[in-house]
Amino acid sequence: MNYRNRQKITYPSRISSDLNTLGFSLIKKSELSIKLNSEDALADFQEQFHKAPPDGPHRKRFYSSYIMVPNGNTGRRPQYLGSHFQQSAAVNPEQKGTERRFHPIPKEIERNKLFQELIKADIAAVCLSDSNGHLLPVHVEVHLISLTATSELAGIATPNCPHKDLDFAFFLHLIDKKHVDGGESVLYANDHDERGPKPGQEIFRTTLEEGDTLAVNDSRVWHHVTPVTVTDGHTSGYRNVLIVGITPMLQGKMGLNGAIEIDNPEIVMAA
Ligand SMILES: [Fe+2]
| 227 lies in some domain | yes
- Most confident segment among 26-35, 56-65, 117-126, 207-216: 207-216
> Is pLDDT above 50 for 75?
no
SS3 state at 73: coil
pLDDT confidence of residue 128: 75
**For the segment 93-127, what is each residue's pLDDT rounded down to a tens digit?**
666 667 777 899 999 999 999 999 999 899 888 87
> Is pLDDT above 90 for 154?
yes
Measured CA to CA, the distance from residue 120 to residue 134 in angstroms comes to 17
| 3 lies in some domain | no
| 2 lies in some domain | no
User: CATH number of the domain that 247 lies in?
Assistant: 2.60.120.620
pLDDT confidence of residue 3: 54
Q: How far is the CA of 223 from the centre of ligand 1 (A)?
A: 6
| 1 lies in some domain | no
Measured CA to CA, the distance from residue 123 to residue 126 in angstroms comes to 6
Q: How far is the CA of 165 from the centre of ligand 1 (A)?
A: 5
Say how many domains are in the chain: 1
Is the separation of the CB atoms in 41 and 114 below 8 Å?
yes
Look at the chain and count its residues: 271
Q: How far is the CA of 253 from the centre of ligand 1 (A)?
A: 31
Q: How far is the CA of 163 from the centre of ligand 1 (A)?
A: 6
Q: How far is the CA of 164 from the centre of ligand 1 (A)?
A: 6
> Is pLDDT above 60 for 266?
no
Q: What are phi and psi of 195, to 5 degrees?
A: -90, -10
Q: How far is the CA of 222 from the centre of ligand 1 (A)?
A: 9
pLDDT confidence of residue 22: 95
180 or 4, greater pLDDT:
180
| 100 lies in some domain | yes
With bands split at pLDDT 50, 70 and 90, how would you rate the model's confidence at 198? very high
For 13, 64, 209, 260, 265, the CA distances from 248, given in Å and listed in that order, are 21, 17, 29, 16, 10
135 or 231, greater pLDDT:
231
Q: How far is the CA of 155 from the centre of ligand 1 (A)?
A: 15
SS3 state at 45: helix
Residues near ion ligand 1 (Cβ under 5 Å):
165
DSSP assignments along 202-271, one per residue? EEEEE---TT-EEEEETTTEEEEE--EEEPTT-SEEEEEEEEEEEEE---EEE-TTS-EEES----B---
2 or 40, greater pLDDT:
40
> Is pLDDT above 60 for 135?
yes
SS3 state at 128: coil
Q: Can you give the residue range of the structural domain that contains 148?
A: 9-268
Q: How far is the CA of 45 from the centre of ligand 1 (A)?
A: 22
> Is pLDDT above 90 for 84?
no
SS3 state at 32: coil
